[in-house]
């Protein structure tokens, strides 16, 4: 049985890895892709999503989202993801077109097409999901499951000292989403609350040159292992076209993390969310109430978890608190490796 999955991304090196994981998962059928402004402007996110589909030979509707967050001005992160959002990679040209309807409408149409079955995954700012909720307030009860990569719980931020990128770009949208799911499900069993994976969890998922080389081997691709000593921007010589794109994308991400004093590695935030969307047992979670700081002069975009229920509010999220990176990477390499091998 395949699980219908709708993905909302701001592609993005790790968003691209998340999409490829889903394409390579036989237990998932990606029924739509929403493009959200974030890592790069939304037009570039659309180009990246369409180019990735061309590379992977997949036919999935891609919709363009809002050009701006619901309230704040847009910020982008080319320093982290490269000038086009996919590091040093070049995606093939494509004649594929966007849907006539926008990304918010796409969320609603997908949820209505698979009532009670659809799994939503959001790995970018929550702009489109908030706009979708305004169109269709019953969205939280239409979805089977929602997994969000966003926030940072009892842990530092990666955008400000306390705020994580996806929430920081559109804090108002995130607050709307958490409030809506809390209102719909907060008084019931926590199974339907969104699974929220913050930096406290996703920074355990560190891709390294050795793991990337294992991926190339699984794909039966030739490849030269990357090294911190390589010239910056060295292009991949992998024989497999998908592995070559992923290596070129990851090298930029490795260099960014290295410059942040995190080592020659890269955190795969979004692929963890994709994997958890298909198998929530990959993480342990705690139900709690979370909210987003909207007004703090130093803390805007911070996600606060009320572990001790001092607010006295119903829970609105299942926060990821535990993960085994080995289990994740074994599965990631098996799935993406086999998918790349089929393409090669």
CA–CA distance, 139 with 137 (Å, rounded to integer): 5
Work out which of 21, 107, 165, 332 binds ligand BDR, going by CB under 6 A: 165
Work out which of 36, 39, 236, 288 binds ligand BDR, going by CB under 6 A: 39
Interface region with Ca ion, contact rule CB under 5 A, candidates 5-13, 228-236, 252-260, 278-286: 5-13
CA–CA distance, 245 with 239 (Å, rounded to integer): 11
If binding is defined by CB under 5 A, does position 150 make contact with Ca ion? no
Least CB distance from residue 11 to Ca ion, whole Å? 7
* One character per residue 41-80, x = contact with ligand BDR (rule: CB under 6 A): ------------------------------------x--x
Which of 269, 335 has the CB closer to ligand BDR?
269
If binding is defined by CB under 5 A, does position 123 make contact with Ca ion? yes
Q: Residue 165: which of Ca ion, ligand BDR, none does it interact with, CB under 5 to 8 A by kind?
A: ligand BDR
Q: Which helix (H) or strand (E) holds 22?
A: helix 13-23
If binding is defined by CB under 5 A, does position 320 make contact with Ca ion? no
* One character per residue 111-140, x = contact with ligand BDR (rule: CB under 6 A): ------------x-----------------
Least CB distance from residue 13 to ligand BDR, whole Å? 7
Give the closest residue to 233 by CA, choosing from 210, 264, 254: 254
What are the residues facing 287 on neighbouring strands?
Answer: 318
Which of 199, 218 has the CB closer to Ca ion?
199
CA–CA distance, 181 with 212 (Å, rounded to integer): 37
Which of 38, 182 has the CB closer to Ca ion?
38
Catalytic residue among 81, 257, 267, 269: 269
If binding is defined by CB under 5 A, does position 8 make contact with Ca ion? no
Which of 124, 194 has the CB closer to Ca ion?
124
If binding is defined by CB under 5 A, does position 140 make contact with Ca ion? no
Q: What backbone phi and psi angles, to 5 degrees, belong to 305?
A: -105, 125
Pairing of strands 145-149, 195-197: parallel
Which of 199, 340 has the CB closer to ligand BDR?
199
Least CB distance from residue 95 to ligand BDR, whole Å? 27
Interface region with ligand BDR, contact rule CB under 6 A, candidates 10-18, 85-93, 137-145, 235-243: 10-18
Least CB distance from residue 38 to ligand BDR, whole Å? 7
Interface region with Ca ion, contact rule CB under 5 A, candidates 23-31, 203-211, 269-277, 280-288: 269-277
Q: Which helix (H) or strand (E) holds 340?
A: helix 325-343
What are the residues facing 4 on neighbouring strands?
Answer: 29
DSSP result, 158-227: SSSSSB-HHHHH-HHHHHHHHHHHHHHHTTS-GGGSPEEE-HHHHTT-EE-HHHHHHHHHHTT-------
Work out which of 247, 269, 282, 292 binds ligand BDR, going by CB under 6 A: 269
Residues 6+ apart with CB under 8 A from 29: 2, 3, 4, 5
Tokens representing residue 197 in the block: 């994976």
- Chain mean position to CA 18: 6
Residues 6+ apart with CB under 8 A from 20: 52, 56, 242, 246, 336, 339
Give catalytic status of residue 269 as yes or no: yes
Which of 165, 181 has the CB closer to ligand BDR?
165
Which of the residues are catalytic?
269
């Amino acid at each position: 049985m395949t699980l219908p999955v709708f993905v909302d991304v701001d592609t993005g090196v790790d968003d691209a890895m998340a999409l490829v994981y889903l394409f390579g998962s036989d237990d998932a059928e990606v029924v739509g892709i929403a493009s959200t402004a974030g890592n790069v402007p939304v037009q570039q996110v659309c180009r990246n999503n369409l180019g990735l589909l061309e590379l992977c030979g997949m036919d999935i509707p891609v919709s363009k989202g809002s050009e701006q967050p619901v309230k704040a001005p847009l910020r982008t992160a080319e320093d982290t993801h490269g000038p086009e959002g996919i590091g040093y990679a070049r995606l093939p040209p494509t004649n594929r077109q966007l849907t006539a309807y926008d990304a918010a409408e796409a969320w609603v149409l997908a949820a209505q097409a698979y009532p009670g079955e659809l799994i939503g995954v959001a790995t970018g700012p929550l702009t489109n999901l908030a706009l979708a909720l305004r169109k269709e307030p019953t969205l939280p009860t239409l979805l089977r499951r929602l997994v969000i990569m966003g926030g940072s719980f009892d842990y530092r931020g990666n955008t400000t000292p306390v705020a994580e990128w996806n929430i920081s770009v559109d804090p108002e949208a995130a607050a709307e989403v958490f409030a809506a799911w809390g209102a719909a499900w907060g008084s019931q069993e926590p199974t339907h609350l969104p699974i929220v994976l913050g930096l406290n969890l996703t920074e355990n998922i560190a891709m390294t040159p050795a793991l990337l080389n294992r991926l190339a081997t699984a794909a039966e691709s030739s490849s030269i292992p990357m090294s911190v000593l390589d010239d910056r921007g060295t292009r991949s010589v992998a024989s497999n076209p998908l592995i070559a794109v992923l290596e070129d994308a990851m090298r930029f991400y490795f260099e960014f993390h290295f410059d942040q004093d995190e080592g020659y590695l890269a955190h795969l935030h979004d692929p963890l969310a994709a994997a958890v969307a298909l198998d929530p047992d990959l993480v342990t979670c705690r139900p709690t109430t979370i909210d987003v700081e909207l007004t703090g002069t130093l803390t805007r975009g911070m996600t606060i978890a009320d572990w001790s229920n001092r607010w006295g509010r119903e829970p609105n999220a299942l926060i990821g608190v535990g993960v085994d990176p080995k289990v994740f990477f074994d599965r990631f390499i098996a799935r993406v490796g086999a998918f790349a091998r089929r393409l090669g």
